[in-house]
Amino acid sequence: MTLDTVAGRQAYTEDHEAFRQTVRSFLARQGQPFADQWNKDRLVPKSFWRQAGEVGMLCPTVPEAYGGLGLDFGYNAIVDEEMAYAGVPAGFSLQSDIVAGYIEHYGSEEQKAQWLPKMVSGEVVTAIAMTEPGTGSDLQSIRTSAKKDGNHYVINGSKTYITNGQNTDLTLVVAKTDPDASPSWKGMSIILVESDREGFRKGRKLDKIGQDAADTSELFFDDVRVPITNCLGEEGKGFIYLMSQLPQERLSIAVSVQATAQKAFDETVAFTKDRKAFKGTVFDFQNTKFVLADLKAKLQVGWAHLDWCIKRHLAGELTNEEGAAAKLFHTELEWEVMDKCLQLHGGAGYMNEYPIARSWRAARVSRIYGGTNEIMKEVIARKL
């Protein structure tokens, strides 16, 4: 099965769709055959990042001057859709859709020249460290500090739930450079920290209920010294930078979860038509048909809304609250699809050997990361 089950897409051009075929072919050869092993290993090897870089799947928006393809976000979205539908667990979207944007928009010429080409090639894996053990969605309460000492920052603190945390070569660390600033968000900065810096330590690869191969980790900073020039953009502007990039981050999540929901639906239609029950198939029951028909209608609406969001974003018009609404709507839809599809699998749905069980477990976090859905409602409500 492929995403060709979705008809009438409006967000993409012929060039986008040609790129989709390249991505799909690559994943069929180099991703899907190894996904089960990566889940068992609880890690995606760095070699896969380099292979993806060779076919142009990493950071498509990076300008050609820095080794990229200079394309629009639609190409990122295609990678997100195809990876999610194929069930390939690498954290490319974090690098391509989030970190690359920060460096492109706010990085110095030296930072761009040093890091973007290696991110495009897959030579460097990146992470962004915001969440702390005692601080989730409330970023203004972070405690990690970056104090000036001559021409260096000295960073102390800890981060948790960090995507790409074990594989990371470069981490964008959100830290307090001015703990006395009022309001507190004015004292936040983003500092680039290379993984070979003395005092930087990767902690546990965290044991999650789903997304087994996802590289989610703890990070620790004990008197980590980095040059002042490692500050991304202006000191004290970190919170503003984070807020300005949220629409794309949340749209990226919406894209991925819509694709995983579609995959669960397609697999469930096939399963119910094959599974025998009471001298027929599970699909023959009216309840099965009605549940699937209801989900089909909602997925159809979801794809139309997603295309609207992508087109808005490509035009530079997607607002913060629209990005929040996309994240809210599509993650809630994903959970409804996953739960109802697992139910239609019966007892098989509770067995990890079936894809729906793994997909259902993996989907639970979607309503938490990228800002909880409760926070999404707060963001939307501010503009009512």
> Which positions are annotated as active-site residues?
249
Which residues on neighbouring strands pair with residue 177, listed in sequence order?
none
As a whole number of angstroms, the distance between CA 120 and CA 77 comes to 16
Which DSSP letter does residue 263 get? H
Strand, coil or helix: 24: helix
In this structure, what token pair is assigned to residue 195? Answer: 């993984």
As a whole number of angstroms, the distance between CA 89 and CA 32 comes to 9
What DSSP letter does each residue of 158-218 carry, written as one string? EEEEEETTTT-SEEEEEEES-TT-SSGGGGEEEEEEETTSTTEEEEEE---SS-TTS-EEE
How would you classify the pairing of strands 126-129 and 170-176? parallel
As a whole number of angstroms, the distance between CA 95 and CA 126 comes to 6
Q: Is 207 exposed, middle or buried (0-12, 13-18, 19+ CB in 10 A)?
A: exposed
Which residues on neighbouring strands pair with residue 173, listed in sequence order?
129, 191
Residues composing the chain:
384
Answer yes or no: are the C-beta atoms of 99 and 126 closer than 8 Å.
yes
Nearest to 87 by CA among 282, 335, 345, 362: 362
* Residue given tokens 């997909």 in the structure block: 359
Q: What are phi and psi of 233, to 5 degrees?
A: 70, -145
Q: What are phi and psi of 382, to 5 degrees?
A: -65, -25
